[in-house]
Amino acid sequence: MKEMSQSYLATEKMSKLMGKYAIPCIISLLVGALYNIVDQIFIANASYLGSYGNAANTVIFPLTVIALAIAVMIGDGCCAFVSLSLGKRKPEEASKSIGNSIFLTIISSVVLCAIYLGFSDQIIAMFGGTVNEETFRHSKEYFFWISLGIPFYMFGQAMNPIIRADGNPRFAMISTLAGAVINIILDPIFIFTLQWGMMGAAVATVIGQAATAVLSIWYLCHTKVVKLSAADFKLNRKIVSRTLMLGVCSFLSQISLVAAMAAINNMIRKYGAMDDVFGQVQYAQIPMAVVGIVMKFFQIVISIVVGMAAGCIPIVGFNMGAGLNNRVKQLFTKLLVAEACVGAVALLIVELCPMQLIGIFGAANESIYYTEFAVKAFRIYLCMMIFACVNKAAFIFLQAMGKSVASTMLSMVREIVFGVGFALLLPLFFGLDGVLYSMPVSDLLTAIISAIVIVSTYRQLSEKVI
């Protein structure tokens, strides 16, 4: 029977399951992150774009995260719902969740695309794109083409976790990898050979995203465990509600990041203008460009962290549904240790090798002010990387267990209360440096709260009262 085909999730060794599910998920998310990162690397190394193009990329990045937030809410929620349903031997509910999720993704992506195209100037200004005229021009050009690709991007991102839930993390990885490879090939052709500038970077990205979407459609016609029928696409309020609730943590973790980035970008624009150096027109874009680069490195690390945790969602969901709490507890322990190790390695890299990281993003073409601020930004902004990694893993694991309220509250406290709050507060006392302090302070305070929730979760798993 179909629902029995994933029974190995309840018996296989945890370390082996983590490898099978987490590694492809990590690669998928890393590859997905490469779209924007690769764009920024090529943009930064194009002498006719430089830090202006970098700043524009930083402005538009959170707007792509909004699209990602909606997509992962649907996709991760569906992934958790499908895994829980299969664990409870209810495959018909799993198939309905997938059908409903496909429908929601298509509708929401078209609506968001229309909003972006209709209000581009106002949206760009909202995210700090008016730091100077050249940055605004580049931002507008890049945003137009990226907006056209939103439906492809959202569909591919939403289907990725659904494909993993169907028991094929390898195909989920391949579909995302194919799109990123296409982007990497086309970026230098469009930016350097054809001199298309920001438009070239965006068009290369959209073509890659379209390839991932096409592969996802193909897979949905050849699913392994859950078989779709026309009836599954009819909206079911109960299933939609449960699916979105399970995915709301993923949504909030992404959308709250957008709020934090909007606050950070505007504080950079405001307090950069008061700085003796960055208050000069020719250097005004540097702080925004630099913080964008630091965030890109952080995105790479978080892609690994989220990939490890999200890859465990089908394992956690199935074992929770089957009542195997000891296995869930064992997996939680392994995951937290692994995430802390990732954070430790990342911390060593940013503290010991900031110049090498900066060099990847075209520092040779920039002034000494660019380099000095970049070194300081890497070392301060990411100094609590270990806590950041463990916090993110805890949020996602709790979501996979069906503890959506606890997961959502922790995510909201980190990103909105602390992330936005300190980004607005600390610059009042420390100026431009206060923006850099906001990240480590937020991660440290969140870690204290997360530790309490983690201990409570361990007790509940031991007592079998989840």
Read off the pLDDT of residues 167-187 as tens digits, 9 standing for 90 and up.
Answer: 888 898 889 889 989 999 999
- 281 confidence band (pLDDT: 50, 70, 90): confident
The reported pLDDT for the residue numbered 6 is 57
- Nearest alpha-carbon partner for 225 in 101, 89, 321, 338: 89
The reported pLDDT for the residue numbered 230 is 85
With 60 as the cut, is the pLDDT of residue 283 above it?
Answer: yes
Distance, CA of 222 to CA of 381 (rounded, Å): 45
Distance, CA of 382 to CA of 438 (rounded, Å): 10
What phi and psi values does residue 369 have, to the nearest 5 degrees? -65, -35
Distance, CA of 21 to CA of 167 (rounded, Å): 9
Q: How far is the CA of 220 from the CAs of 26, 170, 182, 215, 410, in angstroms?
A: 21, 14, 22, 9, 34
Q: Which residue has the higher pLDDT, 322 or 424?
A: 424
- Nearest alpha-carbon partner for 127 in 114, 118, 116, 112: 116
- Nearest alpha-carbon partner for 32 in 140, 148, 159: 159
Residues, the chain: 466
CB 407, CB 396: distance < 8 Å:
yes
The reported pLDDT for the residue numbered 465 is 44
The set of long-range contacts for 420-423, using a CB threshold of 8 Å and a minimum separation of 24, is 420/256, 420/259, 420/260, 420/263, 423/260, 423/263, 423/264, 423/267
The reported pLDDT for the residue numbered 202 is 94
With 80 as the cut, is the pLDDT of residue 389 above it?
Answer: yes
The mean pLDDT value for 250-255 works out to: 74
pLDDT tens per residue across span 300-323: 898 889 888 888 877 887 887 777
Tokens of 115: 């909003």
- 253 confidence band (pLDDT: 50, 70, 90): low
The reported pLDDT for the residue numbered 466 is 44
Distance, CA of 131 to CA of 65 (rounded, Å): 21
With 50 as the cut, is the pLDDT of residue 351 above it?
Answer: yes
Q: Would the CA dihedral through 22, 29, 297, 244 be positive or negative?
A: negative
Tokens of 218: 């193909």
- 376 confidence band (pLDDT: 50, 70, 90): very high
Q: Which residue has the higher pLDDT, 2 or 453?
A: 453
Q: Enumerate the H helices of 88-149 as residue ranges.
A: 91-118, 120-126, 133-148
